Chains A and B, each alone.
Chain A
Amino acid sequence: MTDPNWGLRESYSFDKYAIHEIRRAPSTGLYRIRGWGAKRQLPTFDDLVFLGASVSRYPLEGYREACDTSVVLGTRYAKKPIKLKIPITIAGMSFGSLSAQAKEALGRGASEVGTSTTTGDGGMTQEERGHSTQLVYQYLPSRYGMNPADLRQADAIEIVVGQGAKPGGGGVLLGQKITERVAEMRTLPEGIDQRSACRHPDWTGPDDLTIKILELREITNWEKPIYIKCGAARPYYDTMLAVKSGADVVVLDGMQGGTAATQGCYIEHVGIPTLAAVRESVRALKEIDMHRKVQLVVGGGIRSGADVAKALAMGADAVSIGTAALIALGDNDPHYEDDYRAIGSAAGYYEDFQAGNDPAGITTQDPDLAKRLDPVKAGHRLANYLRVLTLEVQTLARANGKSDVHNLEPEDLAALTVEAAAMAGVPLAGTDWIPGRGY
């Protein structure tokens, strides 16, 4: 018997998701706003492999020979640089987009393994300050909740120019998440759809930014490292200008980077992949002899120790993680499958961070849902996840004969696709061909 479905051909251009979106638009009249990051297939670190050791290079013994993972951020100007035990930091995620419990859990997890966490749009909460041994304070265009006392309480300051999910885009926090506490911290009426500006209110280009950095240093006695966070737009130029403006650290976020709420078209179509961005940023730093002097923190789609190791091999000093950290806390947990189904989603697919109805209690301001997350247990889960990433990075570093994870280098890598070879600037596996570098 013939299967009748064999004759049904799904259009490659108009696939089910495309048809769904076209059908959704006329019914709502609004573009889709969602959380998570880019969901389509992109070139990633998976397109690179480590070469490992053999006759030409010898490896280090996995469990016996030491492999250093520590890193210091902010050595250029700051009197008090940030010292991390592992090269993996927690990215800035706002209180407002996340519950207070989730922020506390992030602080607990990061502190347990000796790394930093970061505030976000909407200001600093005491939950996260209290539970984070090293806290980076974001200085954003909206300046919601920005105050000099918190600036002085922070261990580093991150000037947010953009993030990978939406380089050049401002923020939105939809009304359902603007509870009394969030509204008060942001000086806004409760329940309105709140916009965060896309440009800073008192500086525009790199010359102004230089003076802004001077002001921030003057106010904090030149103690704190100043990071500049950019979405991956034109990373070669953006990195150079960030360094010229006086950054101690450049934070570069590729297009896969997560978000709390952004237009779907922005998430999927603006910015370049992390893989391509790192190479450009490192090239800029090397050209101006600032590689390792200004540290580079790379984010956007980091999931595993292999991703971390590859980012480091390409020249990053550390990475930052957002989505993966939320998953480690319990986001998209199959335990809540029924609840996900009830809101039209499924564990593993949930992306409506903007909606405030997160069954896992992480991206919500609903007190009953937020209670589902135990900050102590979730924090410990995050710490364990960070330990696993660190062990994986060490394993890969030793496999390439490195006693410090920062000794990993592009020469340890090969690309599996021509695209990745061109973007990462490493040879296509089995050849010594790097597209664009002649032959």
Chain B
Amino acid sequence: MAGGSNVTVLDLERESLRAVNRRLQTVGAGAGPFRVSNPRGAHALACGLTAGIEVEIEGHTGYYCAGMNEAARVTVKGNAGVGVAENMMSGEVWVTGDASQSAAATAHGGLLVVEGNTAARCGISLKGGDIVVKGNVGHMSMFLAQAGNLVVLGDAGESLGDSIYEARIYVRGKVASLGADCIEKDMGEAHRADLAALLERAGCVDADVGAFRRYGSARALYHFKSENLDSY
């Protein structure tokens, strides 16, 4: 965000969470940009935004920052707590530090970029959103993920992609283990193109698409069969 004089500063030391969120939730597209100062780990900050505005949060945030985001571009200059960008519909959320558990949980659309690492269950039940994590992701990431993409430039923790449906995972580093029904898959031309586009959107200009491996569903658990007992 440009530091120009047109920036509207919302100070959580002086204004309540309700007032700050209400302001961000009711302004029209093109308003702002906004800078939120003194977040001090506040929960549910900048959630439920619907307009294509730019919001920069100067510091760490608590749970559900930018939850259910639509259209807005929210940047957290620090670490984000549990469920950052949960159920995002569209727009972009950037975290310059690390993100806690369940980052972008159930997101239907939009892009989450985490410059650092995420804890467990990144992209859990993802429904179409995209996630790029420049560091590592914790265990059970993309558990039950249905659609959308997770790109990990570092390593992935245990049980990656457990019970995954049609979502896609690209990992450049090591994968501790794959979860039930998740397998390594071929990288086709279309996958390379998708991955390259995601990397570009996340500003990873130097990343080599060829260094990534792709993971997804073996589709063996799509129907209940007792022969599958050992998989669960």
Instruction: Please indicate whether A and B come from the same complex rather than being unrelated chains.
Output: yes
Query: Which residues on the A side are within 8 Å of B43 (C-beta)?
Result: 211, 214-215
Query: What 0/1 readout, one digit per residue, does chain A (144-173) give for beta carbons within 8 Å of chain B?
Result: 001110010000000000000000000010
Any B CB within 8 A of the CB of A75 = no
Cβ A201 vs Cβ B106 within 8 A:
yes
Query: Which of B82-90, B150-158, B182-190, B205-213 binds A?
Result: B82-90
Alpha-carbon distance between A248 and B104 when the two chains are bound, in angstroms = 27
| Nearest CB in chain B to that of A139: its residue | B87
| Nearest CB in chain A to that of B165: its residue | A188
- Knowing A201-B124, A218-B17 are in contact, say whether A211-B222 is a contact too (CB < 8 A): no
Any A CB within 8 A of the CB of B146 = yes
Query: Which residues on the B side are within 8 Å of A202 (C-beta)?
Result: 63-64, 82-83, 86, 101-102, 105-106, 124
Query: What 0/1 readout, one digit per residue, does chain B (45-64) give for beta carbons within 8 Å of chain A?
Result: 00110100000000000111
Alpha-carbon distance between A30 and B64 when the two chains are bound, in angstroms = 40
Cβ B68 vs Cβ A219 within 8 A:
yes
Which of A146, A148, A175 is close to B48, meaning CB atoms less than 8 Å apart? A148
Which of B83, B125, B223 is close to A197, meaning CB atoms less than 8 Å apart? B125
Alpha-carbon distance between A193 and B221 when the two chains are bound, in angstroms = 9
Q: Closest approach, in angstroms, between the C-beta of B137 and any C-beta of chain A?
A: 15
Cβ B87 vs Cβ A29 within 8 A:
no
| Nearest CB in chain A to that of B224: its residue | A193
Which of A151, A188, A208, A220 is close to B146, meaning CB atoms less than 8 Å apart? A188
Query: Which residues on the A side are within 8 Å of B63 (C-beta)?
Result: 202, 208, 211-212, 215
| Nearest CB in chain B to that of A29: its residue | B226
Any B CB within 8 A of the CB of A126 = no
Alpha-carbon distance between A215 and B48 when the two chains are bound, in angstroms = 9
Any B CB within 8 A of the CB of A221 = yes
Query: Which residues on the A side are within 8 Å of B124 (C-beta)?
Result: 201-202
Any A CB within 8 A of the CB of B199 = no
Query: Which residues on the A side are within 8 Å of B139 (C-beta)?
Result: none
Which of B22, B82, B121, B223 is close to A208, meaning CB atoms less than 8 Å apart? B82
Query: Which residues on the A side are within 8 Å of B17 (C-beta)?
Result: 218
Interface residue count on the B side (C-beta < 8 Å): 44
Q: Closest approach, in angstroms, between the C-beta of A434 and any C-beta of chain B?
A: 44
Alpha-carbon distance between A202 and B140 when the two chains are bound, in angstroms = 13
Cβ B67 vs Cβ A219 within 8 A:
yes
Any B CB within 8 A of the CB of A192 = yes
Alpha-carbon distance between A19 and B175 when the two chains are bound, in angstroms = 48
Cβ A29 vs Cβ B48 within 8 A:
no
Cβ A215 vs Cβ B106 within 8 A:
no
Q: Closest approach, in angstroms, between the C-beta of B112 and any C-beta of chain A?
A: 13
Which of A143, A187, A197, A218 is close to B87, meaning CB atoms less than 8 Å apart? A143
Cβ B18 vs Cβ A187 within 8 A:
no
Query: What 0/1 readout, one digit per residue, does chain B (105-133) give for beta carbons within 8 Å of chain A?
Result: 11010000000000001001101100000
| Nearest CB in chain A to that of B22: its residue | A221
Alpha-carbon distance between A53 and B136 when the two chains are bound, in angstroms = 71
| Nearest CB in chain A to that of B17: its residue | A218
Query: Which residues on the B side are within 8 Å of A175 (C-beta)?
Result: 223
Cβ A30 vs Cβ B226 within 8 A:
yes
Alpha-carbon distance between A29 and B124 when the two chains are bound, in angstroms = 31
Q: Closest approach, in angstroms, between the C-beta of A220 and any C-beta of chain B?
A: 8
Query: What 0/1 readout, one digit per residue, does chain B (90-103) give for beta carbons within 8 Å of chain A?
Result: 00000000000110
29 residue pairs bridging A and B, Cβ less than 8 Å apart: A29-B225, A29-B226, A29-B227, A143-B105, A143-B106, A174-B224, A187-B128, A188-B146, A188-B165, A192-B165, A193-B224, A197-B125, A197-B144, A201-B102, A201-B124, A201-B125, A202-B64, A202-B86, A202-B101, A202-B102, A202-B124, A203-B83, A211-B44, A215-B44, A215-B47, A218-B44, A218-B47, A219-B25, A222-B18
Q: Footprint of A on B, CB under 8 Å?
A: 17-18, 21-22, 25, 43-44, 47-48, 50, 62-64, 67-68, 70, 82-83, 86-87, 89, 101-102, 105-106, 108, 121, 124-125, 127-128, 143-144, 146-147, 163, 165-166, 222-227
Across chains A and B, which 10 residue pairs bring their CB atoms closest together, nearest first?
A219-B48, A202-B83, A215-B44, A202-B102, A192-B222, A29-B226, A148-B68, A143-B106, A201-B105, A201-B124
Q: A30-B226, A202-B86, A219-B47 are known contacts; what are 18 more A-B pairs with Cβ within 8 Å?
A: A29-B226, A146-B87, A147-B87, A147-B89, A148-B89, A186-B146, A187-B108, A188-B166, A201-B86, A201-B105, A201-B106, A201-B124, A211-B43, A211-B62, A215-B67, A218-B47, A219-B48, A219-B67
